Amino acid sequence: MSKRHDAIFDDVLKDIAADPTPADDRAGTRFLKRSNALAEAGTREEKVLRWVDPAQCVMWDRHNRAYELLTEDNCRDLIDSIKAQGQQEFPAIVRRREGPGAEYEVICGARRHFAVSWLRAHNYPQFRYLIEVRDLTDEEAFRLADIENRDREDLSDYERARDYANALDLYYGGRQKTMAERLEVSEAWLSRYLQLARLPEAVVAAWPSIREVKELHARALKPLLADDDAAERVQQEAAVIAAEQAAARAGQGSAVPAPKVLARLKAAGEGPRPSRPATVFRRAPEESGVVMKKRGHKITLEFSDNLSEAALRAAFDQFFAAKFGKK
């Protein structure tokens, strides 16, 4: 989390008491209000924080993190931190939702939601989910989630790219320049992530996980996918790799690591390299002679064991002449 985020949340939580469950809390939640001076506008804003059961919250359907990919392993650091602190330190950002079911939808704080839910399900029912309730439009919610998660390493390039691609049409009418201005990023930077989001699903499926699909992968494959023949070869190889990844997830064999996935897809797209014609040294046209093959800095000489001594000597004389310029 950036220093800017730390400063904001430190101010929000400054006056929160350590015990999140006072006896006089009838609804099982706690309202925590703190006035926050807004220097630019000269007005004051009330921040409302509550401790709630995480079951009262669901992920916003356009949340930029794939909640289904969260596990005990990849949230272990946060789970251990909450256990050590005795409570969640920083509030998740939510807004009220309409209709039956959960009361809130989570804009920022999916990992915190998973961690608290996991703890409550594993013998720590005292933990509650700290939320800050805000009134946000969809576009404001998108920008807020992007600002909070942009510098987080645990949000993958592909999750971020997919979120940007959806937002481009939903909130900015397909205008990339407008979106870049609202997010305060360069058009070139945004364009690279949108290119990643356009990777064919069959190609994305070749990676061990979408968390391992990087923006640089899309850049490497872009020229190949722009050519119809090369794109077809890339997708055919991607299907083969995806089957290997599925088998590995089922316990059959090892997963293909991300660097090897990219190498195989590039090799497929580029096609087989033309082989150099072999050089043959022979005394007479009807003889098989000595075949020279060169690979890198290595030379291999092959000949039949039936070749006569005279024919072999004549062939080697030709090789030496070609190699060292002797006549």
> Nearest 5°: phi and psi at 96?
-70, 150
Q: Looking at the DSSP assignment, which residues form a beta bridge with residue 290? A: 281, 303
User: What is the pLDDT at residue 46?
Assistant: 62
Low-confidence ranges of the chain (pLDDT < 50): 1, 4-5, 8-42
User: What is the pLDDT at residue 147?
Assistant: 85
User: What is the pLDDT at residue 67?
Assistant: 87
CA–CA distance from 226 to each of 96, 173, 203, 237, 240 (Å)? Answer: 44, 25, 14, 16, 21
- Could you give the 3-state DSSP secondary structure of residue 218? helix
Evaluate whether 311 touches 288 at the Cβ level (below 8 Å).
no
> Nearest 5°: phi and psi at 93?
-100, 125
User: What is the pLDDT at residue 28?
Assistant: 41
User: What is the pLDDT at residue 17?
Assistant: 42
CA–CA distance from 198 to each of 138, 149, 263, 295 (Å)? Answer: 23, 21, 20, 38
User: What is the pLDDT at residue 41?
Assistant: 44
- Could you give the 3-state DSSP secondary structure of residue 136? coil
- Nearest Cα to 206, choosing from 171, 255, 166, 165? 255
User: What is the pLDDT at residue 35?
Assistant: 40
User: What is the pLDDT at residue 78?
Assistant: 95
User: What is the pLDDT at residue 31?
Assistant: 40
Interatomic CA distance for residues 211 and 154, integer angstroms: 8
Beta strands in the chain (DSSP E): 32-38, 43-52, 57-59, 92-96, 104-108, 129-133, 279-281, 290-295, 298-303
- Could you give the 3-state DSSP secondary structure of residue 33? strand
